[in-house]
Chain A
């Protein structure tokens, strides 16, 4: 079974600075998807960024980018020019790409990292 580990329960960053959130995972599969979701106090789960394992290029979305190290099974999220609105819980998630019915869509989540942004 796949596992996702976020080793930083809490992080803080100064506004306008850069912060990196860590995520490691364990899988025996070669093809899969990785996601970062953001959950602000409103509790809405918002997709931040996704990465397909077969792509070597790291995904980027505006101020958000990932450092995907497939051999090391590492998937960190970098937030540049941090803003007050970035304060939230961040969850790393894994999904198999192998189609095997409904279970193949199942997301495995890490325990989350609470990010605080200091004005």
Chain B
């Protein structure tokens, strides 16, 4: 499976500010996704990061709030904009590999706390 890293691993931010989370994979992957896991909850898909084009957002998530970039096949960023305490969550990057397209592997996650 691919090795996935995320930066930062955790952060504490003030409301109204923005944070950009990076996801780096050690090999080219077919698909990259961003999930949110609110405290004590399961995972919810935010969007699919498309290489070279705009991300595909799920219902309830918008580009102005969660802009996403994917400049190449190994890297993506998720920005959480104009943060509020309700954005306090774990944000996880996941990938579907070039070799195995049926299984998603996850990064270590970024724990975000908004004060």
Instruction: Give Cα A45 to B42, complex, Å.
Output: 11
B101 contact set on A, CB distance < 8 A = 105
CB distance from A48 to the nearest CB of B (A): 11
B103 in contact with A109 (CB, 8 Å) = no
Assembly CA distance A102 to B104 (angstroms): 13
Are B105's CB and A109's CB within 8 A? Answer: no
- Which A residues touch B102, using CB under 8 A? 33, 50, 52, 95, 97
The answer to whether B42 touches A111, judged by C-beta atoms less than 8 angstroms apart, is: yes
Interface of B is mostly: strand
Known contacts A102-B50, A102-B56, A105-B96: A47-B43 contact under CB 8 Å: no
Q: Please tell me the size bucket of the interface on A.
A: 20 to 34
Is the beta-carbon distance between B103 and A47 smaller than 8 angstroms?
Answer: yes
Q: Tell yes or no: B106 within 8 A of A by CB.
A: yes
A102's contact among B31, B41, B90, B103, by CB below 8 Å, is which? B31
Q: Does B48 make an interface contact (CB < 8 A)?
A: yes
Contacts of B103 in A (CB 8 A): 33, 35, 47, 50
Closest chain-A Cβ to B34's Cβ sits at a distance in Å of 12
Residue B92 is within 8 A (CB to CB) of chain A in the complex: yes
A55 at the binding interface (Cβ < 8 Å): no
Q: Is the CB of B50 within 8 A of A107?
A: no
Tell me if A58 counts as interface (CB < 8 A to partner B). no
Binding site for B on A (CB under 8 A): 33, 35, 37, 42-47, 50, 52, 91, 95, 97, 102-103, 105-107, 109-112
Known: A35-B103, A37-B106, A102-B50. 13 other contacts (CB 8 A): A43-B90, A43-B109, A44-B107, A44-B108, A47-B105, A91-B43, A97-B102, A103-B48, A105-B31, A107-B43, A109-B42, A111-B41, A112-B42
